[in-house]
Amino acid sequence: MCGIVGFTGAQAAAPILLEGLKKLEYRGYDSAGIAVMDNSVISVNKVTGRIANLCEKTDDGKAVPGNTGIGHTRWATHGAPTSENAHPHLSNDGKFAVVHNGIIENYMSLREELIKEGYHFDSETDTEVIVHLIEKYYKGSVRDALIKTTNRLRGSYAIGVICNDNPGTIYAAREASPLIIGVGTDENYFASDVTALVSHTRNVIYLEDGEFAKITSEKIQVFDCLGKEIDKSVVRVMWDIRAAEKGGYEHFMMKEIKEQPAAVKATIAPRIKDGKVIFDELDISTDKLKSINKILITACGSAYYAGCAGKYALEKLCNIPVSLELASELRYSEPIIDEHTLLIVISQSGETADTIAAMKECKEKGATVIAIVNVVGSTVAKLADYAVYTWAGPEIAVATTKGYTTQVTVLYLLSIFFGDKLGLIKENYEEYVKCVQSLPRFIQQAIDMNPAIPTLAEKYHESKALFFIGRNTDYATSLEGALKMKEISYLHSEAYAAGELKHGTIALIEEHQPVIALCCNSKIMEKTLSNIVEVKARGAEVLALTFRNNEKIVSVADDLMFIPEIDPIFSGVIEIVPLQLLAYYVAKENGCDIDKPKNLAKSVTVE
């Protein structure tokens, strides 16, 4: 959660730090701050709320002199979002300023120790122990003080430090939190992710856990945890800078919804050649695959729901049982896993703390790990045996859209790939491949076929609660549809397996209760229809999602959204699109901050 940036060069630092923080704001947006060094004077500016407040306070950075600095945008963990708790934090002697992303798990004992030694604390944050430890261990070398400090820390951190004894130098250290160094010409940077850097440089160095860096405008030195200098390669980032801009859209979320045909196409393109599904990145032998007796999918939030949507295709085409565990549960559940388990980890950011912990646990127990991940070089990608990238490009809106659809698409492709390797797909192979190839076109149709959604949003936006129902693949999508709705519109939304309604939930159905019924699986349509009739008999208003020619549903529902007809195994990627649009327009009606919903952050790097 939280985003950090650092800059050193000949230009004024503050405007560059603010620009970087704006790009990272999706990682946290309850308070922000910068510390800039002008010769050896460090000035700190902090605000509550958005980066815009910091821009206002500092006249877009023009009021803050200096060419070296660090910045932070916060998602509060320890202590309320006040300006005292906002980063950067200063050492008692004013020599050091520190920004931090992550959680210091042993901060309480360190805090007590430091207080006993006479250090005073100005905030409630876990971060403040870092800056006092640096002060405590500093004997003229920031590098040595950083080594000693990080040796005392337990938990996760990406840290940025400046010291007024070393004007023009920024320091960075990482453990289990993302941190990237930007390599410029006569100026250098660090940031939590590449979106903050790509307008300045595409050349980056990925810091690994336990490494730290000393960065001046001319030189970047990276050290291991013992302080030994190490060689790091510079990687060229291919992300298109326009992907991190709104490009005329009011919100990133709408831009990203509309980008889905292209994103899914980019996900598919390298994996279908001459009508065959291929995965160059997966050299799993057929013998190894045959030895797999269980597929376990783990992830958090929407990524978990992507797993739910992909499970049906995997089971049907590969004939291997697929189970799903939320990563936050899996990590503490002592899972029964061995070398016959294939673990599929799904993560857009590749930095979700629970997901990383769960995958480490399963890997230790012998599972083969495939990660479906969007951010190149992220922790999840590095830890996996095989990283399969979704190629969705940067996703900026906190609520995932193209991240989700590309994840589900990869699961469809994997199902065909594995099913074929196992010799289980014979006559339908071509049809399945064609279906997946049609997904980008069908997503576009699902966007185009629903011009009534803004009007539906006007009708439903004041509802007390929304219930989403569906069966099988429709149920999987209703889970993600309900999450999308609640996270951006703040409407209470829940998804239920349609057949479960009568086991309790139907008690909540009363006159005018909206029920969003997903009816896109022709094999079980009649069953969902019965559930629609049951809730209508109790006064519910039914907004159905179905095919245009599905007369039975069309005639019984009060309102309709449509998708083009597609084999239900692959329908999840299409069905979610009208639900994303509905959530978007309901949130808009409710005047919500669509790209940055309250209390949320894009990358959940804390437990």
**Where on the chain is the footprint of ligand F6R (CB under 6 A)?**
300-303, 347-349, 352, 355, 399-400, 483, 487, 603-604
Q: Which two tokens stand for residue 573?
A: 């990627």
Q: Which two tokens stand for residue 151?
A: 């040796």
Nearer to ligand F6R, 433 or 488 (CB): 488
Using CB atoms within 10 Å of the CB of residue 10, give its burial: 0 to 12 exposed, 13 to 18 middle, 19+ buried: exposed
Residue type, 437: Q
| Of 413, 391, 405, 457, nearest in space to 258 by CA | 405
The three-point CA angle 155-159-162 to 5° equals 150
**What's the rounded Cα separation, in Å, for the pair 271 and 35?**
46
CB-closest chain residue to ligand F6R = 301
At 189, which helix (H) or strand (E)?
strand 188-191
**CB-CB neighbours of 55 under 10 Å:** 20
Q: Which two tokens stand for residue 250?
A: 């009011």
Nearer to ligand F6R, 130 or 244 (CB): 244
Least separation, in Å, of the C-beta of 317 and ligand F6R? 24
Least separation, in Å, of the C-beta of 302 and ligand F6R? 3
Least separation, in Å, of the C-beta of 486 and ligand F6R? 10
Least separation, in Å, of the C-beta of 407 and ligand F6R? 8
Least separation, in Å, of the C-beta of 301 and ligand F6R? 2
**What's the rounded Cα separation, in Å, for the pair 254 and 537?**
36
Residue type, 92: N
Question: For residue 94, is it left (φ>0), alpha (ψ between -120 and 50) or beta?
Answer: left
Nearer to ligand F6R, 569 or 604 (CB): 604
Q: What is the phi/psi pair of residue 38, to 5°?
A: -115, 110
| Whole-number Cα distances in Å, 596 to 50, 53, 400, 487, 590 | 10, 16, 11, 10, 14
Least separation, in Å, of the C-beta of 328 and ligand F6R? 10
**What's the rounded Cα separation, in Å, for the pair 396 and 375?**
12
Nearer to ligand F6R, 173 or 604 (CB): 604
What crossing angle do the helices spanning 572-589 and 429-448 adopt, rounded to 10°? 20
Nearer to ligand F6R, 150 or 603 (CB): 603
Nearer to ligand F6R, 222 or 573 (CB): 573
| Whole-number Cα distances in Å, 79 to 25, 309, 330, 575 | 19, 38, 28, 41
What crossing angle do the helices spanning 142-152 and 128-137 adopt, rounded to 10°? 130
Dihedral sign for Cα atoms in the order 478, 480, 481, 487: positive
Please name the residue ranges forming H helices in 461-524. 473-489
Using CB atoms within 10 Å of the CB of residue 275, give its burial: 0 to 12 exposed, 13 to 18 middle, 19+ buried: exposed
Least separation, in Å, of the C-beta of 230 and ligand F6R? 28
Least separation, in Å, of the C-beta of 362 and ligand F6R? 16
**What's the rounded Cα separation, in Å, for the pair 434 and 428?**
10
Q: What is the phi/psi pair of residue 24, to 5°?
A: -95, 0
Nearer to ligand F6R, 301 or 377 (CB): 301
Q: Would you please indicate which residues are annotated as catalytic (active-site) residues?
A: 2, 602
Nearer to ligand F6R, 519 or 601 (CB): 601
Nearer to ligand F6R, 5 or 356 (CB): 356
Least separation, in Å, of the C-beta of 262 and ligand F6R? 20
Least separation, in Å, of the C-beta of 538 and ligand F6R? 31
Dihedral sign for Cα atoms in the order 503, 509, 513, 519: positive
Least separation, in Å, of the C-beta of 285 and ligand F6R? 29
Contact (CB, 8 A) for 416 and 392: no
**What's the rounded Cα separation, in Å, for the pair 275 and 266?**
16
SS3 for 94-105 is: CCEEEEEEEEEC
**What's the rounded Cα separation, in Å, for the pair 330 and 328?**
6
Nearer to ligand F6R, 513 or 603 (CB): 603
- Taken as a whole, the chain contains a residue count of 607
Rg (CA), the chain: 25
**What's the rounded Cα separation, in Å, for the pair 367 and 342?**
6
Nearer to ligand F6R, 42 or 76 (CB): 76
